[in-house]
Each structure stands twice: as C-alpha cells, then as structure tokens.
Homo-oligomer: A and B are copies of this chain.
Amino acid sequence: MIRVNDNFLKLPASYLFSEIARKVEEFKKANPEAPVIRMGIGDVTRPICQAAIAGLRRGVDDEAKEQTFHGYGPEQGYQFLREKIAEIDYRNRGIEMDIDEIFISDGAKSDTGNIGDIFSRDCKVAVTDPVYPVYVDTNVMAGRAGDALPGGGWSNIEYLPCTAENRFVPSLPQGNPDLIYLCYPNNPTGTTLNRQQLGEWVKYAREHGALILFDSAYEAYISEEDVPHSIYEIEGAKECAIEFRSFSKTAGFTGLRLGYTVVPKTLKGFDENGKEVSLNSLWLRRQTTKFNGASYVVQRGAEALYTDEGRRQIDKTVAYYMRNAALLREGLQEAGLEVFGGVNAPYIWIKTPEGVTSWEFFDKLLNECNIVGTPGVGFGPSGEGYFRLTAFGRFEDTLEAVSRLKSLATRTTKKTN
C-alpha cells in the first residue's frame, strides 16, 4: 500500500495567495472595468538590468558552441560566481568566507525549504510571527510542527510575536528551540534588527546551542547604517548561523531563479551519540545528491551583477522600488494610517484601523480602491490587524494607489463627521 506522508495532510487546503487570487477573480468578474492595482505578491516588475542581460547572453552564446559548451556544472555552483560572492558580498564587508562555504542554488525558497533535510525531525523550531509561510509549511511537511492550533499556528512551533507593541523586535525564545528562522530585513513587516539587536540573537544561539537560519533576501534594500546586511557581520555568527541570500529581490531574478546559501565550516550539529557533525558537509551531501546545480546561463547573468556597471544598475532598480516605498509610507501616513517598514525593505506593513480585521481591510481596499494587498493574518497569528503592501510595482501605479488611498481616507473621515 502506497502510504503517503501524513504531515502533508495537516496543511490547510487553500493557500493565502490562492485565496487572494480567488477573491480578486470574483471582484473582476463583477467589475470588469475596475482598474485593479496589484500590490499583493512580492514580485518584482522592473526588467533585468543591462549588465545581467549581457551576462545571460554570453551564457547562451557559450552553450551554442562546442568549445564553450557547459554541461553539468558543480552542484554547489561555479567558482567564477562563488568567488565574486566571497569577495563582494562578504570580504568587502570585512567577512572572510571560503568559497566552499557558499552554495549556489535555484533560489532561497528551495534552500529554506530543503535545509530541513539535514536536521533531525526532533529539532524544535521557532519562528518570528508574522512569518514567511515557507519556513512553517516545510516544517509541517517534515513532521516538526505538531498539530494546527485553532487560533492559527502549530503546537510544536514556538512563535515569537512581532507587533507594534514591541516595535517588531521579537523577544528571545523561551522554549529552547534548536532551529530559529530569522528574516531581516523582514518579510512581511519590512522592519529590521540593528546590529546590537541581532547581536543578542547570536549571543543567545551560541549560549543555547541553537542554530539561526538567517534569510537576508532583502539586504539590498537596507538604507540605514546600523542595520547588518549579513548576520556574519556579528561576531560569533559563523558558529551559529546559516545565511540564505537571493538574487530575486536584489536583481529581479524571480523568473530566472538564483540564490545562495552560506554554511560556514565552523557550524556543528550532533548525531544520536552526541558526536559533532559538520553542517557544511551535510548540506554538500544533500545538494550533490538531490540537486544538479543552477543553470549555467543564469550563473553567468549573476556574475555580471558584480561588475561596477552591474552594481550601479541594480542600485538604480532598488532606488526605484524604494521611491515607491517612501511614497506609500508617506501617503498612508497622510491618510491617517499607522505604517511600518518601507525604509530598509520594499514592504509596507499597515496597522489596520481599530476594529478592522486583516481580511476586512483587504475587502475594503479591493472594493473601494481597487487595490490588492495581503492580509497580515495570512503570515501568522500576530499578523492579525495588519496588512502588507509591496513597493515592487510601477511608479505610476504606486502614485495612483496612494491617491486612491488618500481619497478613501477623506471619504471615510467625511462620513464619520
């Protein structure tokens, strides 16, 4: 009898984003002329920069000729790219990272999902709340989450609330977790931890023998000095943290698929006899066995991002989105809403008005402004009463959205008066 992984069946049948899609579809059917602006899914809209396009073309040209054809590449990625990452993403920030500690992949979603393969099913997991759903769902699938709780969340996962009350700075865990997922700059709240705050997490993890799974997919959006781009800027992090990076939001590679994961050789786990095991070796084994490397063409595209020209171009795209973010922040504040994020991240996290739930706010924005966002509660129990808008749209659309939101506020105020 073909027995399935019962943990899969614990997951709710409908996803957040499919529920949103369904609602938008229904609305458009009823209002076919409505000029809907989508600010829900965190996907980029600007084209790939010219430097990366040239890199991709070079990659394609190489594949067309016998002399330069590339078949199977190293599962952990080409050296030409890992060297650039070690130099520019790390050495230039004062961090020494061996290229054998860097693993190129088809994206951070795959890696943050697959990393669970190397850990025991008994590991206890902690996440900040709200949280990127992949961290939780993949642990549900692996059998680490326990059971779904009526109010949202899972019985064996420790949730660390991040709300306006604690300025989105999570308290240290109480339940002695083994694996702690941190994403900074944060998706969905758009908030960050400063150097001192992240330092406390590193201290905690080292003292408690925990591992931090640090997702810094949005580091390119950091504008403030005191916010670390990499957890390895914190001393001791090489003994307690794996870092996930992505080219998706840095360079618009969501459709091209490329990311990387850093697993320092100093990281140790323990086997059933308490013997030390290198996590770097385990991840290498996982990747060489279940993955065959990222596309050569895409790796050539990413390599070109590390030239002066490439870096200037991606800075420009990041600035384009962050202009949207500033516009949204200011517009929403002028409309009388309390907003967070948008300074070091392309996400705006809105406190819904008193007594209005995340989904009610979703409906209101869709019906009255024709704007699609994401209900905060979709990211976890502490997301209730919040709402996410992304700054990844076109500037013109963002302008128009802000104007609609302000006009909604005016109408609402008038009605109240």
The interface of chain A, by Cβ under 8 A from chain B, is 1-6, 8-9, 11, 15, 41, 43-48, 50, 53, 56-57, 60, 63-66, 69-73, 106-107, 109-110, 113-114, 117-123, 134, 137-138, 141, 178-179, 209-211, 252, 254-257, 268-272, 277, 279, 282, 285-286, 288-298
The answer on a CB contact under 8 Å between A8 and B45 is: no
Known: A57-B60, A252-B71, A255-B73. A5 touches B120 (CB 8 A): yes
In the complex, 14 of the A-B residue pairs with CB atoms within 8 angstroms, ordered by the A residue number, are A2-B178, A4-B277, A4-B279, A5-B117, A8-B285, A47-B65, A48-B63, A56-B63, A56-B297, A63-B256, A72-B254, A109-B292, A138-B290, A256-B295
Q: How far is the CB of A10 from chain B (nearest CB, A)?
A: 11
Q: Nearest CB to that of A134 among chain B residues?
A: B289
In Å, the complex CA distance between A253 and B93 comes to 37
Instruction: Across the A-B interface, give the 7 residue pairs with the lowest CB-CB distance, nearest first.
Output: A113-B290, A3-B120, A4-B269, A43-B71, A255-B296, A71-B254, A70-B255
In Å, the complex CA distance between A175 and B210 comes to 42
In Å, the complex CA distance between A240 and B294 comes to 32
Known: A2-B270, A3-B178. A257 touches B11 (CB 8 A): no
Residues of B within 8 A of A117 (CB): 5, 141
Max chain B Cβ within 10 angstroms of own Cβ: one of A65, A72, A73, A134: A72
Residues of B within 8 A of A11 (CB): 285, 289
Residues of B within 8 A of A107 (CB): 292
The answer on a CB contact under 8 Å between B53 and A66 is: no
In Å, the complex CA distance between A285 and B268 comes to 32
The answer on a CB contact under 8 Å between A289 and B137 is: yes
Q: Nearest CB to that of A8 among chain B residues?
A: B282
Q: How far is the CB of A54 from chain B (nearest CB, A)?
A: 10
Residues of B within 8 A of A209 (CB): 1-2
The answer on a CB contact under 8 Å between B47 and A63 is: yes
Residues of B within 8 A of A141 (CB): 117, 286, 289-290
Residues of B within 8 A of A289 (CB): 11, 113, 134, 137-138, 141
Max chain B Cβ within 10 angstroms of own Cβ: one of A3, A46, A121, A254: A3
The answer on a CB contact under 8 Å between A45 and B57 is: no
In Å, the complex CA distance between A46 and B71 comes to 9
In Å, the complex CA distance between A60 and B255 comes to 11
Residues of B within 8 A of A138 (CB): 289-290
Q: Nearest CB to that of A43 among chain B residues?
A: B71
Contact with A47, one of B5, B8, B64, B134 (Cβ below 8 angstroms): B64
Max chain B Cβ within 10 angstroms of own Cβ: one of A41, A65, A106: A106
